[in-house]
Structure 1
Amino acid sequence: MQFTGRMIDIKYKIEDFRRAIKMLPIKHLFDITTTFYYDETDNVRKYYLKETGINEQIDRHFVLGGIMLKEDINPPDVKELREKLRIPEELEEIKSKHVYNGDIFKVLDKREINPFLNWILNHDIYIHYSVANLYYYSLVDIVDSIIDEELYGFHFYLKDDLYQIAKADHNQFNNILYKYNYPNISHEDIVDFLVDLRGYISGNKLDTTHYIDLLIERIEDENISELPFIQDEEDLMLLKDLSQFYYYPIYTFHNSKHIFDHERQIEDNHFKGVTFTKNGIPFNSYEFKDSKDDSMIQLSDCVVGIISRFYKFLDEFDGSLTNLDKRLNSRQKENLSILCKIIKKSVDYNETLIHMIVPIKEQQGYNIIVSHYSK
């Protein structure tokens, strides 16, 4: 569900949001009573098309997440960690820039990353996050608007294939989207848009896009008279805001407490005047704090930065552990192993702590790497 625009005096029923959760076989996993700490990275504010392409880099991965503590577990003292990271006493907080910089390979090669990751692994804490590949997320409504009931079972594969093809020559693909004011395709332009879309897809198929012919066949169906998810929207606005990711854990883990780093744009535009209710009774399970006052938020900043870089690599990962091993030195392998053990530790405790809106290719890469390096 998208949340857009300024909200004033609005009430949201937790029960309405949780209807889908109640149908899941793992619904009990969402009922944990814990404390979640959050920071975010790659918050682009707005993500939109312009004449020269998209206003942001094509590989943006928004991550909201960080540290999670089980019930009755107090935040551990970070004094020892600060000493290991050589954080000067005059610095009020630990920031990701004090621990690492660069892409995931540079991060894994930093001296400071080893004591940081080991500290998390060896304490009674877990990590959690929602990650969204923003370009992928912006395109999935194309598939949902085109496919019919017969193709529902393939929709994730079709979305993955479309994303891979779109990314292959994103300048050309974005020109098509811009031409038709995507995601606001006018009724008069539906046929022309589908013709251009089919032409691009047919000319850019890859060896790995095994399902895309199903979408091409569907596009050739002249009975498509509406595109429900990419009409009646704002011209060229792919993502107006990312507030939905802040709402998601509040209604998903409704028995837990959620402590976010201050994010004024989110607070002012999407939390002022908003009330969550449970069983008709208002409740408030969240707060926004200054990271200077909370060491767990500071550690969350370091966590989400690593996770964002990890998924940017997964977007390009060819699936070969042999090739990956050749790129890694001994320090990088050790640190990747610790990172994967932290992820596995968290997933083993509760698999719902990790929420991904990414292509299947990224999910498969995640499974391959975490399974191998967490042993």
Structure 2
Amino acid sequence: MDIDELRDAEIQLHGLTKADGVYTFYHDETNNIRKLYIDDGRLNVAELKVFVLGGIVHEGAPRPIEIQSLREAMRIQKTAPEIKLEHVAKGNFLDVLRSRKLTTFLRWLIDNGLMIHYHELDPFYWSVADIIDSIVPELGNPMLLQYHVLLKSDLVAVLRCELAATIQLFHDFGYPGLSPEGRRPFLDRLIEILERNSDVLRHFNAMMLKGVLQAGRALESLEFIEGYYPNLLIDEFSTFYQGRIAIFKNSTHIFDMEKVIHDRLLETPLTSQGKPVANFRFADSKAELGLQISDVIVGVLGKMHTYFTNTGHEDVAADREALAGTSLENAKLLSDLISASHAANVTFLHHVVSVHDIDKLDLFLRFPDGAHVA
């Protein structure tokens, strides 16, 4: 795989800047389900959680990271071979925010000039987005292209209202392997779900989404959801590793050892201008202190973004208003850390999720500039 082709396309599509900088990235992951598929009308996982690949990053070449002071401040037992999220906080996102050890951890990151980076992916959003991507570009309507991302997010919001019925619908039509004759009835069923749950959207949004789905019935094909392997929604996650390596090709990438990902990257060697890419390696977190720090921050981010996908806007607002003490302090520290990292390089943060969930992120963390750039 030529990373320059992938890199150039992403930079142009998203208007990325500072991708040529020299940094050292430590990467860990959370909520990697390996594959997402439908079996007998049900998903292969009991609960959908947001996948996060990320960790800490600093400018320049790799340098020593000293964490003994952090271990002592958090009173990590000497017998513990490494720092893990479980040593810092447990439970759901709101539980995690109550941890004084998390306060110590976040302050240590900021005081040591470390930034964070991460790619987050909502597997349900990723699975559903291809429906809109198969229709909108083919309609040739400039206005609809402006609402492209919103349309995907609105469809996700509607289908979350009837997740079981949606999964059964996908199963019935072998999604994303629709047959040509299944195109119209599949979209008809989607429209029925929309009509039953249109009140979760603004009236204009619901009507626009319905119009797009209706228009899709007249297309000669639905490019991204026809002819693929039936009921296989996500095949693997190595693509996201490749993306981070490619975009920051002048940087050093140190990944926590994940054998499946490691083997997949060996099967499809990365090249740049005809030469092997050698800016990444896999390591044992016990030996790489930066990976231990990344484990904690990625775990927190995974819980945070899963909370946003599973919680309604009004409940998020109520939870934010109820924050006090340590929870409020930790929310502010997270906001400061994400804001500083974003200010240093917008390419550090990448979201493949509903814009409605990004709105909840803004609502909860209350970024100083008033909005978080997705």
Q: 1:149 to 1:195 in 2, by over 3 A?
A: same
* Residues 65 and 130, structure 1, Cα contact 8 Å, conserved in 2: yes
Q: 1:44 to 1:22 in 2, by over 3 A?
A: closer
* Residues 58 and 114, structure 2, Cα contact 8 Å, conserved in 1: yes
Amino acid at match of 1:245: F
Q: Which shows bigger deviation, 312-321 or 60-69?
A: 312-321
Amino acid at match of 1:307: L
Give RMSD over aligned pairs.
2.0
Amino acid at match of 1:341: D
Other structure's SS at 1:275 match: coil
Q: Determine which of 336, 340, 365 is the counterpart of 2:331.
A: 336
Q: 1:345 to 1:244 in 2, by over 3 A?
A: same
* C-alpha displacement of 1:57: 4.1
Other structure's SS at 2:321 match: helix
Question: 1:280 aligned to 2:274?
Answer: yes
- TM-score computed with the length of structure 2 as normaliser: 0.91
Identify the residue that residue 149 of structure 1 maps to in structure 2.
140
* Residues 183 and 235, structure 1, Cα contact 8 Å, conserved in 2: yes
Q: Determine which of 252, 260, 263 is the counterpart of 2:255.
A: 260
Equivalent-residue separation in structure 1 for 2:283 and 2:181 (angstroms)? 49
Equivalent-residue separation in structure 1 for 2:290 and 2:129 (angstroms)? 34
Q: Which shows bigger deviation, 297-306 or 64-73?
A: 64-73
* C-alpha displacement of 1:323: 2.2
Identify the residue that residue 173 of structure 1 maps to in structure 2.
166
Identify the residue that residue 358 of structure 1 maps to in structure 2.
353
Q: Determine which of 185, 207, 211 is the counterpart of 1:213.
A: 207
Q: 1:367 to 1:183 in 2, by over 3 A?
A: same
* Residues 319 and 365, structure 1, Cα contact 8 Å, conserved in 2: no
Question: 1:190 aligned to 2:183?
Answer: yes
Other structure's SS at 1:206 match: helix
Q: Which shows bigger deviation, 138-147 or 49-58?
A: 49-58
Identify the residue that residue 71 of structure 1 maps to in structure 2.
60
* C-alpha displacement of 1:154: 1.2
Identify the residue that residue 299 of structure 1 maps to in structure 2.
293
* C-alpha displacement of 1:19: 2.4
Q: Determine which of 77, 80, 90 is the counterpart of 1:91.
A: 80
Equivalent-residue separation in structure 1 for 2:246 and 2:28 (angstroms)? 18
Q: Which shows bigger deviation, 15-24 or 230-239?
A: 15-24
Q: Structure 2, unaligned stretches of length 5 or more?
A: none
* C-alpha displacement of 1:373: 7.0
Question: 1:238 aligned to 2:233?
Answer: yes
Pairs aligned (count): 363
Identify the residue that residue 50 of structure 1 maps to in structure 2.
39
Q: Structure 1, unaligned stretches of length 5 or more?
A: 1-11
Instruction: Name the structure where helix makes up a greater proportion of residues.
Output: 2
Q: Which shows bigger deviation, 278-287 or 160-169?
A: 278-287
* Residues 17 and 346, structure 2, Cα contact 8 Å, conserved in 1: no
Percentage of pairs with the same residue:
29
* Residues 337 and 374, structure 1, Cα contact 8 Å, conserved in 2: no
Question: 1:117 aligned to 2:117?
Answer: no
Identify the residue that residue 222 of structure 2 maps to in structure 1.
227
Equivalent-residue separation in structure 1 for 2:335 and 2:369 (angstroms)? 5
Q: 1:273 to 1:197 in 2, by over 3 A?
A: closer
Equivalent-residue separation in structure 1 for 2:237 and 2:79 (angstroms)? 34
* C-alpha displacement of 1:108: 0.7
- TM-score computed with the length of structure 1 as normaliser: 0.91
Q: 1:260 to 1:140 in 2, by over 3 A?
A: same
Identify the residue that residue 284 of structure 2 maps to in structure 1.
290
Identify the residue that residue 5 of structure 1 maps to in structure 2.
none
Q: Determine which of 197, 204, 208 is the counterpart of 1:204.
A: 197
* Residues 39 and 261, structure 1, Cα contact 8 Å, conserved in 2: yes
Equivalent-residue separation in structure 2 for 1:369 and 1:152 (angstroms)? 29
Identify the residue that residue 100 of structure 1 maps to in structure 2.
89
* C-alpha displacement of 1:82: 0.5
* C-alpha displacement of 1:153: 1.7
